[in-house]
Structure 1
Amino acid sequence: MPDRAALEGILYVLKTGIGWQHLPHQLGYGSGMTCWRRLRDWHAAGVFTRLHHVLLDRMAQAHQLDWTRACVDSTSVPAARGGPKRARTPRIVAGLAASVM
């Protein structure tokens, strides 16, 4: 399966939200499992991270990035020094609930 066809199949599944197993063979993207495996392999190889950096670089060179609307949250940037540690939540199990049957 050519890379271009696999990429188009991946984008089709991600855009439409269909399951991988429901990717229509008539579209010429190959099987959904082939596209899924290619996505997994490309992700593991860092292809999408490199692609993201290339796109950001090109957009910056074309002055198409507006950083005044950028947002960073803790899911993408870890807290400085790891942040405070939380205490463990104590269990509050007094006993089993009575059966309703």
Structure 2
Amino acid sequence: MVRARGITPVIARRGVEHGSGLGTVRWPVERTFAWLKGFRRLRVRTERRADVHQAMLSLACSIICLRKLILN
């Protein structure tokens, strides 16, 4: 699905150049996880039910997107 959109994964390895030729590469997955860890209920998982955890994850993603839209 990701490759169909023309996105190729770039996995960092120690001491090896990534060779993407893009200069500064931003790591969207790691950055997104860092944003999600900003929400305490997701950082320390206290929910036992998976559906409640999924709802909190969806809410956090919505808040992150809203913040990015407001700031840009």
TM-score range, shorter chain: under 0.3
Structure with bigger gyration radius: 1
TM-score, length basis structure 2: 0.27
TM-score, length basis structure 1: 0.22
